[in-house]
Structure formats: structure tokens, C-alpha cells
Chains A and B, each alone.
Chain A
């Protein structure tokens, strides 16, 4: 485990592995109590997307601009 501590990215990736193990367990728990598989999928994705969208809206409101002006600005 000596090599593991040398790289900060490796430590973060081990933390990601731990979080993924937790999310998998919560996913199974939620699917067991959900009315349908699609319902759990939709609710989980919705709860994931809403904070991200709110953060982006507060941080950079122009990120939601679309249409011709936005495309021309990107070019």
C-alpha cells in the first residue's frame, strides 16, 4: 500500500470505489422498494440532475442559453 499513498489521484479513486459500493447497495435497496424499475430509475436520475442543474444555474446562467446566438458564440 506504499504506492497507493504516493499518488493523490489513486487515493481519490479508492474513495470513488468506496462510494460506488455504497451507491450499488442503495440502488438495490431502492429497487426492492420501488413500484417499478423505471420509476426508481427516473426518480434517481431526477434527484441527481436537479442539484447539478441548480448549481450550474447559479454559477453560470449563460450555460443554459441555446439557439443561434449560443452556437455562434461557441464558434
Chain B
């Protein structure tokens, strides 16, 4: 039986660890990059939490303009004239985009505030009508039939609930509930039906 002997490992065939030498510049650059990246992520999250995305994100186009300065100061890199023109175009475009978006957002906020004010006025008018209805139907000279009163109160409650839900108001109907016992019963029935 022939014996198979393994060849002697040569010095060239041995496995050695890769030559990984970490310089101080490498560690310094990685540490600074990591620290600034963490800080930038925190500021990024705060910025998009404070303002709309359409207003804040276009300002990231300022990065190439600042990169021209930092790259020249840190590693002495200079952009070409065509590159400088491109950087100016990109930065100016981002700034104009952010400015127009800010104008649109401000106009939309003003329109929303106007609509909310109109809804509050409408809800206040509806509450006043509800108050008059209860007073007239219970204490007026001509008594209103209970069935008719219940239907009117039901209708009024539906309108008021729609208005209040839109305007975000909380109309205190329970205070009015204690005014008249007859109106109270009609109101309770109408509320249960609603």
C-alpha cells in the first residue's frame, strides 16, 4: 500500500493575517466623520419635525457650495470653473425651490385658519338656534307637540354634532338639559336616537 505523505508546507504557502495597518489619519477621519454624522442626523430629524419637508429638504442643496470651501480648506481640492457654475446653479435652484414652497405653505396655513374661523362662527350660530328652539318650545305661549319638539331637537342635534365635529368644539349641552324637564326628556330621547 503506497503511503501518501503530505508535502511540507512552504513558507510561501502558509496563511498569514492580512497586513492591515491603521494609521492615525484613518482613525481621526473615521471618528470625525462618525461624530459629525450623528450630529447631522439629530439636526436632520429636528429640522423635519419642525418644518414641512418641502421647505426644509431643498436646503440640502447647499451641501455642494459648502463642500467647495471645506474640501479646499481640508484637502486642498479645487473645483473646475464648470464645476463652480454647476454648484451655483444647483444651490440657487434649491434656494428658490425652498422659498416658493415656504410661500405656498404660509398661504395654505392662512387659508386653513380662515376656514376654521368660518366653521367656528357657523357652530356658534347653530348653538344659538338650538338654545332658542329649546326656550320657545317649552316656555312659549303656544306649546309645541312633544313629537314635533323631539324631531326638531333631533334635527338640530345632528346639525350641531356635524358642525361641532368639524370645528372641534365641545358644546356643553348638558347645562341646557337642566333648564326644562319636558325639553330634557325630548332631548334625551333625541340623543338616544342619534
Q: A interface vs B, CB < 8 Å?
A: 3-4, 6-10, 12-30, 33-36, 39-40, 43-45, 47-48, 51-52
Contacts and interface: CB of A to CB of B under 8 A. Distances in A.
B102 A6 contact: yes
Q: Which applies to chain B's interface (DSSP): helix, strand, loop or mixed?
A: helix
Contacts, number: 147
Contacts of A48: 34, 37-38
Interface residues of B, number: 51
Interface of B: 18-23, 25-40, 43-44, 46-52, 55-57, 59-64, 66-67, 69-71, 74-75, 98-99, 102-103
B71 A10 contact: no
Contact of B51 (A9, A20, A23, A26): A9
A39 B20 contact: yes
Nearest to B98: A10
17 contacts: A7-B102, A13-B43, A14-B62, A16-B44, A17-B61, A21-B71, A22-B32, A24-B71, A25-B70, A26-B30, A28-B71, A29-B74, A29-B75, A39-B20, A43-B26, A44-B30, A47-B34
Nearest to A50: B34
A33 B51 contact: no
Given A7-B56, A25-B75, A33 B29 contact: yes
A74 B43 CA distance: 28
A9 to B, nearest CB: 3
B47 A12 contact: yes
